[in-house]
Chains A and B, each alone.
Chain A
Amino acid sequence: MNQTISQTKPKSLLYLDGVSVSFDGFKALNSLSFVIEPGELRAIIGPNGAGKTTMMDIITGKTRPDEGQVFFKGDIDLTQRDEAEIASLGIGRKFQKPTVFESHTIWDNLELALNRSRGVFPTLFYRLTVDDKARIEEILSTVRLSARRDDLAANLSHGQKQWLEIGMLLAQEPELLLVDEPVAGMTDAETAETAVLLKEIARTRSVVVVEHDMGFIRELGVKVTCLAEGSVLAEGSIDFVSSDPKVIENYLGR
C-alpha cells in the first residue's frame, strides 16, 4: 500500500501519508494515508470522531500533524505553512457551520473572497475592475444568489448561506476544495441542487466532500473513502464501500 502511494505522489494533487495527530493522548488521526487526483471529486464518510474534521484542519494548516507527510501538487509541503499561505496556494475550505460575513452584503462577501492580492496596501487602494465585477456576477448566478446581491448575508436562509460560502470558495479559485457537510440542515430540494452545484464545480477542480448523508453521496456517484478511528477503513465506489463488513460494523450498522 505504502509503495503504491509513494509512486503516485508526483502526479497527485493532494497526498497524505502516515499522518498521525493526537490531542491529550486521544489519537484523532492514526497513520492516515490517501491521495486525491487532479480533477477528482471524492466523498469522505465515517462515524463521529473518525477524524474527518481533523484531517481538514491538517490539510488547511490549522493543526500540525505529529508525524506523517502532507503534500500538495506533488512537492509543496503543507505541514510547514499556515492557513493564509495554504489558502493562497489554492486550497479552499468550507466549514461545517456556514460561515459568511454577516454584516457585509452578498456582493461584498464575494468581493472579499475574490482571488486578488491580500496584503494591507493592495486592499487599501483596491478598486473594483470590470473583470472582477464580471467574475462576481458570474459566481452570483452559479450559486443562485443574483437577486439578493445587495442584501446582508445575515438575512439569508441557512441553505443560501451554505451556497454563498461555496460561492466564496469559488471566488477564491482554488484547485482543491474541501467541503465539510454541505447539506447539513438543508431541505431535500436544496440537497439535490447542492449535489448538482458540486458536480458542476468539480468539472474544473478537485473537490473533497465530507458528508453523513448517504443519499447525497449516492447522488454524487463518486469514489468514497470511509474513515474510522483516524485511518482509512475502506475506499471505492459507494456500493463497494457500503457492502464492506467493516464499514457496516463501524458506521452504517450503528
Chain B
Amino acid sequence: MITSFLLKSLDRSIVVVVAILLGLAIAIPALNLLTAPDHPLHVPTFLVSLFGKYLTYALLALALDLVWGFCGILSLGHAAFFALGGYAMGMYLMRQIGVRGSYGNPLLPDFMVFLNWKELPWFWQGFDMFWFAALMVVLVPGLLAFVFGWFAFRSRVNGVYLSIITQAMTYALLLAFFRNDMGFGGNNGLTDFKDILGFNIQADGTRAALFAASALTLALCLVLTTAIVRSKYGKVLVAVRDAESRTRFLGYRVEHIKLFAFTVSAMMAGIAGALYVPQVGIINPGEFEPGNSIEVVIWTAVGGRGTLIGPIVGAILVNGGKSIFTAAFPEFWLFALGGLFVFVTLFLPKGVVGTASAYLARRKAHRRAADAENARDNLVAEPMAAE
C-alpha cells in the first residue's frame, strides 16, 4: 500500500529533481573532500554549508507549498515551526558540549550557569540523546500545529484572518524565546556547538555529511509530498482550496483535511530547522521574526505556488541572489527583494516553474495538434498515391 502510494509520485519532473538532489548529495561532498584546495573544481567548506542552508530553506518552502499551494492556507508563521525544530536540535547540541563549556559544568549549558540556575529544567531532560532530540524535532512543531490548527480550523478561521493569527503565533513565540527565564538562552539563543553524534561540527567531513543529509531529506520529503498531493486526499486538498463549502456539503470534514496537511507541513518545517542549525552554528529567537515567515512565502511565490518543485527552485534562487547581492550591494538587497516580489506577482503569477511548465504544456499541445493535422493530411494523401 505504502509503496504504491509512493510510486504514484514518480513522474518525470519529480524524478529529475530527485536525481539532481541525489547527485548533489554525492558530488558536492566529493568535490569538497576529495579535491585539493587549489583544484579548479574544489568546493570550499563554507560553500558546502551555504548550499546546505539553501536546501533547508528549500525544504521549508516545500512544506509551506503543501498547505498554501494545495490547500490555500496562507500560513505566515511557518518559520516558527522551523525555529522550533531548530531549537530542539540546538538543545541536543548544547547538551553535547558538556565540560567543554566556558564554565566547565558537565550538565548545565553555559547560559544556565550564568543565570545561576542550579539544575537542569525538566524540558531539557532527554536532549542528551540524539534519538530523543530527533523525535522532538518532529513532535514539537507537529503538536503546536495540531493544537493551533485544531482550534483555528474548527472555528473556521479562514483567509487573511488565519494568516494574521499565524503571524501572531510566531510573534508570541519570538517574545517568549527572548525571555531569559524561558530557559532557551534568551536573546543569545543557543550556540558554540562542539559536536554532533560524536563528530566535530566544524570538521569538513561533518559539514559535507550535513549537506548530504539535507539533500537526501529534501528528496525524500519531495517524494512524500508528491505522493500526498497525487492521492485522492491531495485532490480533496485542492477541492478545499477552490470550493470549501462544496467540499463540506459533499461530506468531507474540511477541518480534518486541513489539520492533517498543516501538521505534516509543520513537521517538515521542523526537520528543515533541525538540519539548518548545525550548518549555521546558531539558533536564536530572531528565527521567529514575523518577517522570516513572510520571506518563505516570497520564495514559494517566486518559484511557483502549487508546483512542489517551484518552492525548491524559488528558495535557492532568492537565497542565492541574497548571498550575492548582500556581498556586492548590501544596501540594495531589500529593494531587490521587494522589486522581485512585485515583478513576479505582476508578470509571473504562476512563478518561475509554473510559467515554464505552462509554456511547455502549451508547446506540447501545439505540437500534438500539428501532428494530428499531418496525420489527417497523410490519410487524405494516401489514397491518391494509390491511384
Contact = CB atoms under 8 A, between A and B. Distances in A.
A25 interface: no
Interface in A67-87: 83-85, 87
Given A83-B249, A101-B243, A112 B257 contact: no
A113 B250 contact: yes
A103 B235 CA distance: 10
B4 A92 contact: no
A124 interface: yes
Interface in B174-189: none
Contact of A102 (B242, B247, B250, B251): B242
B72 to A, nearest CB: 11
Contacts of A119: 253, 256
A123 B232 contact: yes
Nearest to A89: B251
A84 B236 CA distance: 14
Contacts of A100: 243, 246
A155 to B, nearest CB: 13
Interface string B245-268: 111111111101100100000000
B87 to A, nearest CB: 28
A120 B231 contact: no
Contacts of B260: 120
A172 B245 contact: no
A168 B249 CA distance: 11
Interface in A162-202: 168, 172
A17 interface: no
B251 A126 contact: no
A251 interface: no
A37 to B, nearest CB: 23
Nearest to B248: A83
Contacts of A172: 250-251
A104 to B, nearest CB: 6
B239 interface: yes
A191 B309 CA distance: 45
Contacts of B1: 125
A118 interface: yes
Interface in A103-148: 103-104, 108, 111-113, 118-120, 123-127
Given A120-B256, A124-B233, A84 B248 contact: yes
The size bracket of the interface on A is 20 to 34
A104 B235 contact: yes
Contacts of A126: 231-233
A58 to B, nearest CB: 14
Nearest to B260: A120
A145 B235 CA distance: 20
A118 B251 contact: yes
A180 to B, nearest CB: 11
Given A123-B233, A125-B5, A99 B251 contact: no
A124 B238 contact: no
Nearest to B252: A118
Nearest to A90: B251
A113 B252 CA distance: 9
B239 A120 contact: no
Interface of A: 60, 62, 83-85, 87-88, 92-93, 95, 99-104, 108, 111-113, 118-120, 123-127, 168, 172
24 contacts: A84-B248, A84-B252, A84-B253, A85-B251, A87-B248, A100-B243, A101-B242, A101-B243, A103-B238, A104-B235, A104-B239, A111-B232, A112-B232, A112-B236, A113-B250, A118-B251, A118-B253, A119-B256, A120-B256, A120-B257, A123-B232, A125-B1, A127-B4, A168-B250
Given A118-B253, A124-B232, A126-B231, 16 more contacts: A83-B245, A84-B251, A95-B245, A99-B245, A101-B243, A112-B236, A112-B239, A112-B247, A119-B256, A120-B256, A123-B231, A124-B233, A125-B5, A125-B231, A126-B233, A172-B251
9 nearest A-B residue pairs (beta carbon)? A87-B251, A126-B232, A123-B233, A88-B251, A124-B233, A99-B246, A83-B248, A123-B232, A120-B260
